[in-house]
Structure 1
Amino acid sequence: MLLPRIMVMGVGNILLSDEGLGVRFLDQLAKKSLPESVELLEGGTAGLDLIHLIREVDFLIIVDALNANAEPGTLFRLQPGDLHALSEHREVSFHEIGIIEVLAIANLLDKSPKTLIFGVQPKSLEWGVDISPEIEAQFPRLTELILEEIDTIQLKGTFTSVLSA
């Protein structure tokens, strides 16, 4: 049986403390034993350059800082459409070209994988390379949630239906 290709992408600017949480999180996830069909990618702040990187995967799981005006460390589990609806009310991404735009363009090119986004409300966006303790404390739970998604994708070919972030 051919397993679906899964990419876990961490995005963000590692020079702006919690803005880089997606990239820093991948360091933790890389310590886990992952199936061969799972690829980890540091998307950084690459913006549109990410389109060619995601077109070859079946499932994309994104980890990023998310501005939802919530308590620092709050986890969100969203589909791209949820993120688009949220962005109508506020700027949710801290990047010049956010993941919404990247996914929209990939979709126009018929290259968009099934996508799930795990967002974390940052505490600090100040210059610095350290992640706030409140944010780093969420990494074990985030790891657990993403490993559950990977298992479900491999078993059922879809994301979990439970929205329990």
Structure 2
Amino acid sequence: MSQRLVLGIGNLLMGDEGVGVHAIETLAAEAWPADVALLDGGTGGFHLLEVLHTHGEIVMIDATMDGQEPGTVTVLRPTYASDFPRSLSAHDIGLRDMVEATQLTRALPTITLITVSIASVQPMELALSPAVAAALPDVRRQVRAALSPQGALTGAPAA
């Protein structure tokens, strides 16, 4: 089992709101060390609690409606559920809810949250807006940077 997880959250049917899942699809084309797993977490939900319980380090990628320019990438290192921004885009069960539930049963893993600012949710839209799509290379860099303190990432990006 991998010790480190990159978890993309989002709904592919809601345009920019699916940026976390799009990021996982992009990252899956690259080589990663054996101790790093990539997971499309879809719209979240309590079924992901086991994921939070079984990994020592998690990098989460999600959309946020925080009023910043669409495509703005922000990196946070929340310690408690209250440290998660309230402006994370809506899913069935939010990341804050999952983190709060995890805290009830055990200590949280080390979490890095990478958010991508979006302007709105676009129902029944599969593609990312140009501004959010242009943020994917920065998301990739931030994921690699977040994981690199634990040891060198030996996998070279795919061409």
Is the TM value for this pair above 0.5? Answer: yes
The residue aligned with 2:155 is none
The residue aligned with 2:115 is 119
Q: Deviations over 1:124-156 (max 9, x none)?
A: 41121101110111111111111122221226x
Q: Deviations over 1:10-69 (max 9, x none)?
A: 001110000000001111111111100000011111311110122111100000001211
The residue aligned with 2:38 is 40
Q: TM-score, normalised by structure 2?
A: 0.86
> 1:69/1:82 Cα in 2 relative to 1: closer, same or farther (>3 Å)?
farther
| Amino-acid identity (%) | 28
The residue aligned with 1:162 is none
> 1:15/1:71 Cα in 2 relative to 1: closer, same or farther (>3 Å)?
same
- 2:81–2:100 contact (8 Å) kept in structure 1: no
Unaligned 5+ runs, structure 2:
153-159
Counterpart residue identity of residue 78, structure 1: L
The residue aligned with 1:144 is 141
> Helix, strand or coil for the counterpart of 1:9?
strand
- 1:77–1:116 contact (8 Å) kept in structure 2: yes
Q: Which whole-Å CA distance do the structure 2 matches of 1:22 and 1:91 have between them? A: 15
- 1:73–1:134 contact (8 Å) kept in structure 2: yes
> Helix, strand or coil for the counterpart of 1:142?
helix
> Helix, strand or coil for the counterpart of 1:39?
strand
- 1:14–1:23 contact (8 Å) kept in structure 2: yes
Q: Which whole-Å CA distance do the structure 2 matches of 1:69 and 1:97 have between them? A: 22
Counterpart residue identity of residue 60, structure 2: I
Is residue 26 of structure 2 the alignment partner of residue 28 of structure 1?
yes
Q: Which whole-Å CA distance do the structure 2 matches of 1:69 and 1:81 have between them? A: 23
- 1:51–1:106 contact (8 Å) kept in structure 2: yes
> Helix, strand or coil for the counterpart of 1:131?
coil
> 1:91/1:141 Cα in 2 relative to 1: closer, same or farther (>3 Å)?
closer
Q: TM-score, normalised by structure 1?
A: 0.83
> Helix, strand or coil for the counterpart of 1:119?
strand
Root-mean-square deviation (CA), in Å? 1.9
Unaligned 5+ runs, structure 1:
156-165
Counterpart residue identity of residue 92, structure 1: L
The residue aligned with 1:163 is none
Q: How many residues align?
A: 150
- State the Cα distance separating 1:108 from its structure 2 match: 1.4
